[in-house]
């Protein structure tokens, strides 16, 4: 298996660490301290050095935060992690349903007389602090900038990552770094901005056509950048990460040590574009009124993949499908009760490693059987490793980081004889995925406008799921990429070239979980006979080619159109993938893709 570098803590380690943190609160004259799951670059994933939330509380989810007060400590998690958090934190920590309960509301409930709550200005986005302060107006509660109190008590905190970066070939990038810099700089000049501050690692990687390995499973290197309207880039990154990249970066890019970043920001004149949703408060403190919230200039161009990036992603998915199908063939040959979750994870990762283009997996493989499948972001450990028993559903969510593309696929698999209730729920999830796959929609709609399409079959049965329908995916970059999402809160219009996941699910705590996921790319929809020629439409093209488990489908629940879509999809899977498979897997695929 690939090695995971995440810091973890056992539940019993949390209370003494919380006590040590509270001693620092007393020493600083504070009533509380905010511990986010974030680093100074505000990416989704963090290095071991920045796993403060996991170290303090034991909670290892990729979103959430802790508010440690002198008498209570709340761990704020969204719907994806509410089962997981209960198993990972000690009773001294109180799980809080977020965003239903806001940070400001919670603070006012627990500090009714007011108080001072400290925060590290490098670890919180300026927009988050601004909004929280506004919500706290008149409460007497003050957010106070301070040193990081967790770092003070974390005696064996790992060092920051210092791994080397490498060029990303033009054949895969599809556009030179010089072209990207010139194009985005012109946009800044046209908007009257003198520069833009960029802190997201994947944006810097995309802009400069480089990749790194500072974060497990994410090909990024930590650093900061300033893009100037005249076409220059100041890159603030440790020199040891950039050895041998002088010729690749070119004369437009000047390299500086990270320690010089904040001082350089202070010298900027005129309007400076920042993304208030990701830029650290420490940066905005220096810019003051010069900071203009215009978003990350790389975000949208990065999301709209060019022809080379789309072709690379499509090719990566075909090879990735081979690894998944070979694994499913092997799994079906094993008797129920004879295989564990760990064995499935190991086998799948071994199959992926046979591809020389694979650089890493794209996240910790999720293989949750039975009740473990109801934990949306479950990750098997020695303590939780379970056998795949007769009647179980196995949720298998995995992906690969290939030089030409990033993959992410989920299949739910029947183990032995599965009950009728599980099959009915599975079929509703499948109907939702098919509905989204078949959708055509007018140009200008965002994820929030169409995401309900994948939920309707579940809603009609009084069911739903507590995660988005889909997330953006990078081109050999982050497996979770913004700004596009299929989510109730996403207002970014979908555009051609955007790659997203289509992944409805259903989870019954303590019993089973179901999720199906294909990656899809936005395309211009062809005109239909008799359609409104003046109304431009968009549609999806599916990139993922792995069969859906026919044993779990209640055929009578599908409409004729849904059945036709599924049979056509399975024909495509057989046509594209069968020649690449071993003889045993070819026979397995013939049965798995037989018409319904």
Query: What is the dihedral angle through the alpha carbons of 100, 105, 110, 115, rounded to the nearest 10 degrees?
Result: 140
CA dist 43 and 481 (Å) reads 10
Residue (of 264, 265, 181, 300) closest to 230 by Cα position: 181
Structure tokens at 110: 């627990």
Residue 494 DSSP symbol: P
CA dist 361 and 400 (Å) reads 4
- Residue 446's Cβ-side half-sphere holds a number of Cα atoms within 13 Å equal to 12
Q: pLDDT (tens digit, 9 = 90+) per residue, 155-173? A: 999 999 999 999 999 999 9
Residue spans of alpha helices (H) in 333-455: 341-353, 420-438, 447-450
pLDDT given for residue 576 in this prediction: 98
Whole-structure pTM value = 0.93
570 CA to centre of own chain: 28
- Note whether 11-153 and 166-298 share their fold: yes
406 CA to centre of own chain: 12
CA dist 574 and 568 (Å) reads 10
Which are the contacts of 449, defined by CB distance < 8 A and separation ≥ 6?
441
Q: Judge whether 319 and 356 are in contact, CB under 8 Å.
A: no
DSSP reduced 3-state for 328: helix
End-to-end Cα spacing for the chain: 36
Structure tokens at 295: 């978003």
Domain 166-298 maps to which CATH number in 3.40.50.620, 3.40.50.300, 3.40.350.10, 3.40.50.2300? 3.40.350.10
Residue (of 321, 331, 277, 271) closest to 299 by Cα position: 277
Q: Judge whether 124 and 155 are in contact, CB under 8 Å.
A: no
Q: 11-153 maps to which CATH number?
A: 3.40.350.10
Residues in the chain: 596
CA dist 465 and 79 (Å) reads 8
> Residue 144's beta-bridge partner residues?
118
Residue 530 DSSP symbol: T
> Residue 367's beta-bridge partner residues?
396
Q: pLDDT (tens digit, 9 = 90+) per residue, 379-395? A: 899 989 999 999 999 99
Structure tokens at 290: 């010069």
Please state the domain extents for the chain.
Answer: 11-153, 166-298, 304-592
Q: Judge whether 208 and 253 are in contact, CB under 8 Å.
A: yes
Q: 304-592 maps to which CATH number?
A: 3.90.230.10
Which are the contacts of 503, defined by CB distance < 8 A and separation ≥ 6?
410, 433, 469, 470, 515, 516, 517, 518
pLDDT given for residue 8 in this prediction: 64
DSSP per-residue string spanning 109-161 = HH-TT-EEEEE-TTSSBHHHHHHHHHHTTTSSEEEEE---HHHHH-TTPPPPP
Residue (of 52, 61, 57) closest to 378 by Cα position: 61
CA dist 343 and 178 (Å) reads 46
> Residue 253's beta-bridge partner residues?
233
CA dist 139 and 118 (Å) reads 16
pLDDT one digit per residue (tens) for the chain, 596 residues: 333 445 667 888 889 999 999 999 999 999 999 999 999 998 778 999 999 999 999 998 888 999 999 999 999 998 888 888 888 898 899 999 998 999 999 999 999 999 999 999 999 999 999 999 999 999 999 999 999 999 999 999 999 999 999 999 999 999 999 999 999 999 999 999 999 999 999 999 999 999 999 999 999 999 999 999 999 999 999 999 999 998 999 999 999 999 999 999 999 999 999 999 999 999 999 999 999 999 999 999 999 999 999 999 999 999 999 999 999 999 999 999 999 999 999 999 999 999 999 999 999 999 999 999 999 989 899 989 999 999 999 999 999 999 999 999 999 999 999 999 999 999 999 999 999 999 999 999 999 999 999 999 999 999 999 999 999 999 999 999 999 999 999 999 999 999 999 999 999 999 999 999 999 999 999 988 776 667 899 999 999 999 999 999 999 999 999 999 999 999 999 999 999 999 999 999 999 999 99
Q: Judge whether 513 and 497 are in contact, CB under 8 Å.
A: no
Q: Judge whether 424 and 557 are in contact, CB under 8 Å.
A: yes
DSSP reduced 3-state for 171: helix
pLDDT given for residue 1 in this prediction: 31
């Amino acid at each position: 298996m690939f090695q995971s570098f995440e810091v973890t803590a056992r539940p019993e380690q949390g209370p003494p660490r919380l006590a040590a943190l509270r001693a620092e609160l007393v020493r600083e004259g504070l009533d509380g301290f905010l511990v986010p799951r974030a680093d100074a670059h505000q990416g989704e994933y963090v290095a071991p050095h920045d796993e403060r939330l996991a170290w303090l509380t034991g909670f290892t989810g990729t979103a959430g935060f802790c508010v440690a007060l002198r008498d209570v400590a709340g761990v704020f998690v969204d719907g994806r992690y509410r089962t997981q958090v209960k198993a990972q934190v000690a009773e001294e920590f109180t799980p809080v349903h977020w965003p239903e309960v806001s940070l400001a509301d919670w603070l006012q409930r627990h500090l009714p007389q007011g108080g001072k709550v400290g925060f590290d200005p490098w670890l919180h986005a300026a927009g988050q602090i601004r909004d929280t302060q506004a919500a706290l107006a008149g409460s007497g509660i003050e957010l106070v900038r301070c040193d990081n109190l967790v770092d003070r008590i974390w005696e064996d905190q790992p060092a920051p990552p210092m791994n080397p970066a490498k060029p990303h070939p033009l054949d895969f990038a599809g556009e030179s770094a010089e072209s990207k810099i010139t194009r985005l700089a012109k946009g800044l000049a046209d908007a009257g901005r003198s520069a833009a501050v960029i802190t997201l690692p994947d944006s810097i990687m995309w802009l400069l056509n480089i990749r790194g390995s500072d974060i497990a499973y994410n090909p990024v290197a930590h650093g900061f950048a300033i893009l100037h309207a005249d076409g220059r880039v100041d890159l603030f990154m440790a020199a040891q990460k950039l050895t041998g990249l002088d010729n690749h970066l070119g004369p437009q890019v000047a390299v500086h040590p990270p320690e010089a970043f904040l001082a350089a920001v202070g010298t900027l004149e005129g309007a400076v574009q920042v993304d208030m949703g990701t830029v650290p408060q420490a940066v905005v403190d220096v810019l003051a009124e010069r900071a203009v919230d215009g978003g990350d200039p790389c975000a949208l161009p990065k999301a709209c993949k060019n022809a080379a990036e789309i072709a690379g992603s499509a090719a990566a998915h075909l090879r990735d499908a081979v690894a998944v199908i070979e694994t499913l063939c092997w799994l079906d040959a094993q008797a129920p009760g004879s295989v564990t979750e760990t064995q499935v994870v190991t086998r799948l990762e071994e199959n992926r490693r046979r591809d020389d283009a694979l650089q890493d997996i794209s996240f910790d493989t999720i293989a949750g059987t039975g009740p473990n499948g109801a934990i949306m972001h479950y990750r098997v450990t020695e303590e939780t490793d379970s056998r795949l028993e007769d009647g179980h559903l196995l949720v298998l969510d995995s992906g690969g980081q290939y030089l030409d593309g990033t993959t992410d696929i989920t299949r739910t698999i029947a183990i032995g004889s599965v009950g009728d209730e599980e099959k009915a729920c599975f079929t509703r999830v499948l109907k939702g995925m098919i509905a989204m796959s078949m959708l055509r929609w007018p140009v200008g709609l965002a994820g929030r406008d169409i995401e309900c399409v994948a939920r309707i079959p579940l809603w009609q049965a009084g069911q739903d799921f507590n995660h988005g329908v889909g997330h953006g995916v990078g081109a050999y970059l982050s497996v979770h990429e913004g700004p596009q999402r299929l989510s109730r809160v996403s207002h970014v219009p979908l555009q051609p070239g955007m790659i997203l996941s289509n992944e409805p699910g259903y989870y019954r705590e303590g019993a089973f979980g179901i999720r199906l996921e294909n990656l899809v790319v936005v395309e211009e929809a062809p005109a239909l006979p008799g359609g409104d020629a003046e109304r431009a439409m968009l549609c999806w093209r599916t990139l993922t080619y792995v069969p859906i488990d026919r044993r779990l489908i209640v055929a009578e629940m599908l409409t004729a159109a849904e059945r036709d879509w599924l049979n056509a999809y399975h024909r495509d899977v057989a046509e594209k993938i069968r020649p690449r498979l071993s003889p045993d897997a070819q026979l397995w695929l013939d049965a798995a893709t037989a018409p319904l």
